[in-house]
Amino acid sequence: STESRPKRAFSKKGILSPDVGTTAPLSAEEKTEGRNDRNRFYIVGMGASAGGLEAFEQFFSHMPPDSRMAFVLVPHLSPEHKSLMADLLRWYTAMQISEAEDGMDVRPNRVYIIPPNKDLSITHGVLRLEAPTEQHGVRHPIDFFFRSMAQDQGDRAICVILSGTGTEGTLGLRAVKGEGGLVLAQDVKDAKYDGMPSSAIATGLVDHVLPAAKMPDLLLRYTKATAARAIRPLVKAEERPAEALQRIYTLIRAQTGHDFTLYKQNTVIRRINKRMAIHQIETLEDYVVYLRSNPHEIEVLFAELLIRVTSFFRDPEAFDVLKNHALPLIFGNKHDDSPVRIWVPGCSTGEEAYSLAILAHEFQRQHKSGHQKIQIFATDIDTGAIDIARAGTYSESIIVDVSPERLSRYFIKRSGAYKVKDDVREMVVFAVQDLIKDPPFSKMDLISCRNLLIYMGSSLQKKVLALFHYALNPGGVLFLGASETVGDASDMYSFIDKKWKIYRARRVETLPMTAIDLRQPALVPGKERVEAGPDLRRPASPNVGDFTERLLLERYSPPCAVVNDKGDILYFHGKTGKYLEPASGKAALNIIEMAREGIRLEIRTGLRKAVTQKKDVVYGGLQVKTNGGYKPLNLEIKYITKPEHLEELIMVVFNETAAVPEEKATKAKLRSREKASERLSAMEYELKSTKEHLQTTIEELETSNEELKSTNEELQSSNEELQSTNEELETSREELQSANEELLTVNTELQHKIDELSEANSDIVNLLASTQIATIFLSYDLRIRRFTPSATDVINIIQTDVGRPISDISMKLEYPELASDAEEVLKTLSQKERMVRRQDDRWYLARVVPYRTVDNVIDGVVLTFVDITHQKRAEELEESMNACLQGVIDMVREPLVVLGSDLRGELGEPILLRDLPGEAGRHGEQAHLRDWQRTVGHP
């Protein structure tokens, strides 16, 4: 409503200042000042969709015009309509408002609004306009601008997410957060539409959630605090920064278990500086106290230091180089049975890992390079990020980074979000891992660690690069960020692509243990150095007790093998050659294939029972064929439950029994052969019957299988059709949603314009009514368009007569020439006036003038009737008095002069001479009269 609208800015004379809401040209001094100030003021990017105009109004109503910030507004606008937002916002701020133009410098205390049907970016403090990639449907100008602003302004960027539907702005705020900028989101209770704020808040990266009206105060306090801190160093010498920072590191390590001592101190201080500015804390010592009393702030600072920023196919050109130059090297050296192993340390929320999975799958499909299994291990210290990555569900704004072909092939659209398909999800294993203290993976073909080394100190970078070299296979690929390099580790890596920092591991001698031991004794003062993991530890001195124990186990314990649930052998103990032998064909370590004759069936059956029933299985009295004869054997299959890291493994123990004397053995063999012959006959009959029954069952199963296959194909075809229909409907829904947002924005702007027009109309109506002048507005065809209340004094008119010709309305005036006068005015475009009398003897001055529009187009006439009855009566009275006076003068026979108060003559014939009779007298009178007329007006 207009009642809540703030007043415009007025000058001292009460007139609207001419520079308010205008785009005045800048002087050379202003331009120089803007360039010099560019690095000293904040740029606030504000994204909104439906309901954004109200949020903008609340924001700028509370933002002073001298905030020393620049504001760039990126609302969703209809591409087919001219935006009215700049005109509407001028009611709420005295700052200069401009529609963004290509090449326009951004300066403080200004507001810039994106024009319709354009994408807006910023480069070196200069706005750039581009044609949108999507002319219709869903566009993402907010994410586009936020990303460019983050890249250009760094920690001087501030992004604000206001009311709107959908999830746009989420990707952009990640980029701003990654560069150390400030992120604000409107409270969902305050927003007219909560889609965009809710999506932003769900990322966990928003610094503050608050109503739009309270954002200006926070921004002013934040910018003031950071400006003061920029002038005054963050850390003073007397504050002993090493000790203060070490306390902060200790608090973080105690609560989260992670240490940031070896990270770049400047980066850590910059993040701490931001948190101190938000909380208005002046010194590091005070911030340490604040951390101790607010454990939640430790978690927030930890998340701030983690910098959870990533996206799908970040730097697409780099992924193209990786696909065309690195993957051929990896897949070209692999056999079909050898998996391709990839490690993504610092994976954040998983976009990088899934991007590599998609890329590898595309490479296999395009080059038909065998059927190698792809294993991707993605790790991060952030548990929350790993949970998001495991879910594999991302907002619809990923369409900015993922092509439509990849979206349809590798993602499923569900409830306004995209979920990674199972075949891609199964390639990736996510785990929480601290790269600094946890053991690394090994035998990797590719390590992708992008934009992680830039936050580490040089010593830690060297150790991490050495660790990566240890984890890579010879010739493996290391993929770093565009601003990272291997530095002094160039002897371990060679370039594949210098621009995008893709390296290949060189063959070098074994690295010393200190090169890949990331843990430092200085991290835990007062404690001894923690030894490396068991795979990196140097051999210790031999221990007599351990040696004796190992010797007894080798001599007296039975041979055994530890296998997994599939029978793959993981560990041998003792001499198992009498029971296991390598199988012919491709080399494999599967206990079922290696088992000798006599125990193979029992091992297969026992493994299945042990896995399904989770209990031990024992077979006694077995005869295993070895060295041309049979040896008695008891077979034990033990299901391992402890310790936890060996849980679900199985131990197969071979217990050889004593041999039986030959005579007894012969008799036992004869008896067993007789019984075996009887059993054999019965079993042959049973086997024959079973085979017939089995054959019948197989035929029935084959028939059912063919029917199921046919049904499955039909269902698959139907599913594809439904999927296609669903995608079309989803596209239509997105386009309708985008169109609806644009219409809502246009509707809001038009509603505000209507309010202004209603207010102006009310002012005009009251103005016309207060003049008490009868006014009638006629259209070009002389039909009544509007009239004032006083018009009823001259014409018999009511409200329902609007639209009727003026000639159809009875007049109270004696003015038959009204219609002809109006037509003449339309032809000549000059006004016409005449005095007309009303039936009750009142007089009016009738004036007929052309009706001109704001475009100077003649669109009718305007009739005004001014009541001049009093003037008419006065004129008549004056004429009557003059006639009376003239009669009196004519009656006087004496010479007479009538003078005014200044003794000047007032009458034209003041002297009457009667002393000359006849013609002489008359001629004398005329002579005297002429002389007198020449002196009238003189004293």
Judged against a pLDDT cut of 70, whether residue 744 lies above it is answered with yes
Q: Are the C-beta atoms of 195 and 162 separated by less than 8 Å?
A: no
What is the CB neighbour count within 10 angstroms for residue 926? 11
| 609 neighbors 586 (Cβ within 8 angstroms) | no
Question: Which region among 210-219, 329-338, 727-736, 788-797 has the lowest average model confidence (pLDDT)?
Answer: 727-736
Q: Which of 381, 375, 379 is nearest to 342 (CA)?
A: 375
Q: Which residue has the higher pLDDT, 53 or 588?
A: 53
What band does 584 get if pLDDT is binned at 50, 70 and 90? confident
Environment class of 839 (CB within 10 Å of its CB; exposed 0-12, middle 13-18, buried 19+): exposed
Question: What pLDDT is stored for residue 673 in this prediction?
Answer: 62
Tokens of 252: 């973080």
Place of tokens 């409107």: 186
SS (H, E, C) 191-235: CCCCHHHHHHHHCCCCCEEECHHHHHHHHHHHHHHHHHHHHCCCC
**56, 89 Cβ separation under 8 angstroms:** yes
In the DSSP assignment, the letter for residue 396 is G
Of 43-47, 251-255, 469-473, the one with minimum mean pLDDT is 251-255
Of 87-91, 295-299, 751-755, the one with minimum mean pLDDT is 751-755
How do residues 406-463 score in pLDDT, each as one tens digit? 988 999 888 778 899 988 998 999 988 888 878 888 888 999 998 888 878 888 888 8
pTM (whole model) above 0.75: no
- Detail the DSSP E strand segments found in 732-879: 774-778, 784-787, 832-837, 843-852, 858-867
Distance CA 50, CA 742 (A): 7
Q: Residue 397 in contact with residue 375, Cβ under 8 Å?
A: no
Strand 411-414 relative to strand 417-420, pairing:
antiparallel
**% residues pLDDT > 90 (the chain):** 11
Q: What is the dihedral of CA 476, 479, 483, 486, to 10 degrees?
A: -20
CA distance 725 to 721: 6
User: With the C-alpha atoms ordered 340, 344, 345, 347, is the resulting torsion angle positive or negative?
Assistant: negative
**Tokens at residue 277, please?**
């500015």
When pLDDT is cut at 50, 70 and 90, the band that residue 46 belongs to is: very high
**Closest alpha carbon to 218 in 207, 231, 203, 229:** 207
Distance CA 439, CA 347 (A): 17
More confident residue, 548 or 886: 886
Least Cα distance to 161 among 127, 134, 126, 188 occurs for: 188
Question: What is the C-alpha separation between 97 and 71, in angstroms, rounded?
Answer: 9
pLDDT for 200-255, tens place per residue?
Answer: 898 888 888 999 999 999 999 888 877 655 544 444 434 445 677 888 888 888 88
Residue 72, pLDDT > 90, answer yes
CB 369 within 8 A of CB 375: no
Q: Look at residue 684 in the predicted model and tell me its pLDDT.
A: 78
Residue 65 has pLDDT above 70, yes or no: yes
pLDDT at 357: 93
DSSP structure class, residue 475:
E
Q: Which DSSP symbol is given to 611? A: H
H/E segment holding residue 884 = helix 869-891
Q: What is the pLDDT of residue 306?
A: 75
Q: How many CB atoms lie within 10 A of CB 799?
A: 6
By mean pLDDT, which of 318-327, 672-681, 838-847, 866-875 is the weakest? Answer: 672-681
- Which two structure tokens, joined as six digits, stand for 308? 């959870």
| CA 93 to mean position of chain CA atoms | 27
Q: What's the token pair of residue 142?
A: 């907010």
The CB density around residue 38, as the number of other CB atoms within 10 Å, is 19
Cβ-proximal residues to 597 (8 Å cutoff; 6+ apart), any chain: 624, 625
- Whether residue 643 has a cis bond before it, omega within 30° of 0: yes
Instruction: State the DSSP string of 321-378.
Output: HIIIIIHHHHHHT--TTS-EEEEEET-TTSHHHHHHHHHHHHHHHHHT-----EEEEE
At 531 the pLDDT is: 35
pLDDT digits (tens, 9 = 90+) for 131-141: 876 544 456 88
DSSP element (H, E) containing 300: helix 295-306
Residues in contact with 498: Cβ distance below 8 Å, sequence separation at least 6, in sequence order: none
Contact by Cβ (8 Å): 285, 244: yes
Banded pLDDT at 261 (limits 50, 70, 90): confident
